[in-house]
Amino acid sequence: MKNFENKTVLITGGSSGIGLALGKQFASKGAHVWILARRKNLLKSAQKEIRQCCLSPNQNIEIISADVSKYDELKIALQSFIKEKGVPDILINSAGISYPGTFLNLDRKIFDDTININYLGTVYPTKIIAPEMVKQGHGHIVNLSSLAAIVGIYGYSAYAPSKYAVRGFSRVLRAELNPHGVSVSIVYPPDTDTPQLAFENKIKPEITKAITQGGGLLSADKVASDIIRGIEKDKFTIIPGLEGKLLVAFAPIIGRILYHSSVKKAKQNIKNN
């Protein structure tokens, strides 16, 4: 898709972080933007920011308050919106959470919430929107995974599997929807300067901090621009930033290095305590 003018883009998790950055950049290219999230106050604030980036006063910047992990609630909200506004040309599944911690110490509910929002929160909007895209014969679905789905990282036993699931889902979805004229992309962002990362940094295990420092940090705007460039080129795999591309290219080697580094640091911690 080369031209986004007058196209409609629906972004889950669009009230902050990468989702908000995407909304602003799509608006600057003339697109109509719908952002979906749970909290209305954040949605309204994000809506104002996105409107300031519009090319034309005729662009529609809409908000939808819904929880991506609650299918029935989400279906009612989206079907009502589609009936009034039409089917989006692009769906970006950006909603997600991360709660780092060691497996032995994480509460079971963290695993439930992470799978429900990161994985099912990707499946559910797609389940509602994809059939409509198929009916109209075109569309593009973009799922945000993570570099944690390429290389397992100490401290992300809840988060990484949820993003591995998004990776597998996207590969199958691509094969099934391509014959219907619907494109699918998967994005592997590195650490990105967002409110979510700020929260993570407060609670990360020390070992996780040690092995992830120096891994590169991108702005949400940079990640968003790389995603849009990937959509323009109809790429399936979108990897923002050089560090991410290198990690993917040398994943087996880097994975072994991270594993041995983690084990060494963990054993030292156990010995010291």
Q: Which residues are catalytic?
A: 145, 159, 163
Residue 246 in contact with residue 214, Cβ under 8 Å? no
Which two tokens mark 273? 């305590």
Residue 209 neighbours by CB distance under 10 Å: 13
Q: Let me know if 259 is exposed, middle or buried by CB neighbors in 10 A (0-12, 13-18, 19+).
A: middle
